[in-house]
Amino acid sequence: MADSSQTSQSRQLQVETHGLDVIGDAERKGTPSTLFWPWFGANVSILGLSYGAFALGFGISFWQALVAGVIGIVFSFLLCGFIAVAGKRGSAPTMVLSRAAYGVRGNRLPSVISWVLTVGWETVLTALATMATATVFSRLGWGGGTETKVVALILVGALTVVGGVMGFDLIMRLQTVITVVTGVLTIVYIALVADHIHWSTVSAVPAGSAQEFIGALVFMMTGFGLGWVNAAADYSRYLPRSSSSRGVIGWTTFGASVAPLLLLVFGLLLAGSSSTLNKAVAADPIGALTTILPTWFLVPFAVVAVLGLVGGAVLDIYSSGLALLSAGLRIPRYLAALVDGVLMIAGSVYIVFFADDFLGQFMGFLTTLGVPIAAWSGIMLADLLLRRRDYDEGDLFRPNGRYGDVQPTPLLLTLAATAIGWGLVTNTAASWLSWQGYLLDPLGLGGKSGSWAYANLGVLIALALGFLGTLALGRARVQRQEAEAPSQEAVPAV
């Protein structure tokens, strides 16, 4: 036992050498319950409170926002749980397992989309951590200007990049610490600001239309599970093959959902109690939450805010590096994470120092990339459902193997679902996305200013088209693949 412990400790102190390669049986460890820690740590961020204001911003009542949030969070993370099963069955990163549907090189398209999404998320989280730190320092009278933001950005960026470069074992240890610290301090925060809740004001918020409810539901899906679904198998691939699939699904969904659900409820109560706070969240989602705190808790708040955001950013930078490799870049995983870290810091500089409308750009980013990711999710889920055997790991890396080089049907389905989806969403707050929504008028949905303009149906349509289209058109392809004898060749070096 002592030798095993020492081996584990030494591995945790080293840079992970695994990239896209398959995790060998000797290195598989843990149980499905260990998935709780990375997923909870990545989603316990104080940012979850701000989603209460985001949801009410759609013009709906507390109860409508609560239902939209519960359905959107749990359903979207359930998708992550299903895809996490593929990691246990295939021992490889999510965007490598996706090659079974798209072909080895055909999968580069969804890999690029996945990479952009994860780099975007890590950038947003890093920028928010920087702005939150500056706000806290400003309230304490310790500065809060450009110098503070620069130092905060360097520290947050460095912590995120180090976690992503070091890899799986350090991330698992870091997420356990983040879970405990942020969990405790978040409870203290809730206790301190509970007297700012006024139920009479919250309950008086008028109800919105069905279209506004759907818009909030889709936003919750894209802001939570659909932002993680393309990385869902990156951690379950380290579990033993004998692990329970139900356990993988359950612990992934539970670990990822429990904190956002609790934070959403309290965030709705706070935002519904104060229109001033509700509006302030749109400009500075984390910093606005400090305005109702006693001064003595500002430093602990900064700790919980930064750690929670870093917890999500670390998982994103790890998975974005894997997605970049899957897209065809042939460098070591740790260098890919470093490249993404540079892009993350550059994007954070823009958000922190130059952007003047965070919420509008954020919603535009989520919805726009949420459409192709939803299409990919539908295809991946249906492909996984059709399979009766585990993946042939070697053929995931061979263009001449059973999964082929380029599979045209999934690619065309992704492009078609994305084109239709973008035609059914609008993002007026982000001027660079004004071209979207081009199908709302032809389909009789009132155009870009009608009642369906902000329902963002395109995300749901893309998910459904990807799933149903693959069930209808992909069955024969999967049966042909599984009819072949297991590959006897070794997994190619990557």
Cβ-contact 286, 53 below 8 angstroms: no
pLDDT at 133: 86
User: Residue 364's pLDDT band (boundaries 50, 70, 90)?
Assistant: confident
DSSP 366-398: HHHHHHHHHHHHHHHHHHHHH--S---TGGGG-
Please state which of the ranges 11-15, 22-26, 66-70, 146-150 shows the lowest mean pLDDT.
11-15
Please state which of the ranges 94-98, 143-147, 473-477 shows the lowest mean pLDDT.
143-147
pLDDT at 6: 40
Cβ-contact 414, 117 below 8 angstroms: no
Model confidence at 347: pLDDT above 60: yes
Q: How far apart are CA 100 and CA 477, in angstroms?
A: 10
Biggest alpha carbon–alpha carbon distance for the chain: 69
pLDDT at 10: 43
Give the list of residues 6+ apart from residue 351 with CB closer than 8 angstroms, or none. Answer: 123, 124, 127, 358, 361
Q: Decide which of 5 and 194 is more confident.
A: 194
Cβ-contact 236, 28 below 8 angstroms: no
CA torsion, ordered 23, 25, 26, 29, to nearest 10 deg: 80
User: Residue 459's pLDDT band (boundaries 50, 70, 90)?
Assistant: very high
pLDDT at 4: 37
Cβ-contact 126, 348 below 8 angstroms: yes
Cβ-contact 414, 114 below 8 angstroms: no
Nearest to 271 by CA among 50, 493, 34: 50
| Residues of the chain above pLDDT 70, percent | 95
Mean pLDDT taken over the chain: 88
User: Residue 25's pLDDT band (boundaries 50, 70, 90)?
Assistant: confident
**Rounded mean pLDDT, 154-181:** 81
User: 24: buried, middle or exposed (CB in 10 Å: 19+, 13-18, 0-12)?
Assistant: exposed
Give the list of residues 6+ apart from residue 369 with CB closer than 8 angstroms, or none. Answer: 113, 116, 117, 120
Ranges of H-type helices in 19-98 = 36-43, 47-56, 62-90, 94-97
**Rounded mean pLDDT, 363-381:** 92
3-state secondary structure at position 321: helix
User: Residue 425's pLDDT band (boundaries 50, 70, 90)?
Assistant: very high
pLDDT at 494: 59
Model confidence at 492: pLDDT above 70: no
Residues in the chain, overall count: 494
Q: How far apart are CA 193 and CA 187, in angstroms?
A: 10
Nearest to 65 by CA among 296, 219, 254: 219
Give the list of residues 6+ apart from residue 314 with CB closer than 8 angstroms, or none. Answer: 42, 159, 160, 163, 164, 171, 174, 175
pLDDT at 491: 63
Model confidence at 8: pLDDT above 60: no
Q: How far apart are CA 20 and CA 108, in angstroms?
A: 13
The DSSP letter of residue 207 is P
pLDDT at 209: 95
What spatial distance separates the first Cα and last Cα of the chain, rounded to whole Å?
A: 33
Nearest to 224 by CA among 69, 119, 100, 352: 69
Give the list of residues 6+ apart from residue 14 with CB closer than 8 angstroms, or none. Answer: 166, 169
User: 136: buried, middle or exposed (CB in 10 Å: 19+, 13-18, 0-12)?
Assistant: buried
Q: How far apart are CA 282 and CA 467, in angstroms?
A: 34
Q: How far apart are CA 415 and CA 436, in angstroms?
A: 15
* Amino acid identity for residue 463 in this structure: L
Cβ-contact 341, 380 below 8 angstroms: no
User: 342: buried, middle or exposed (CB in 10 Å: 19+, 13-18, 0-12)?
Assistant: exposed
3-state secondary structure at position 447: helix
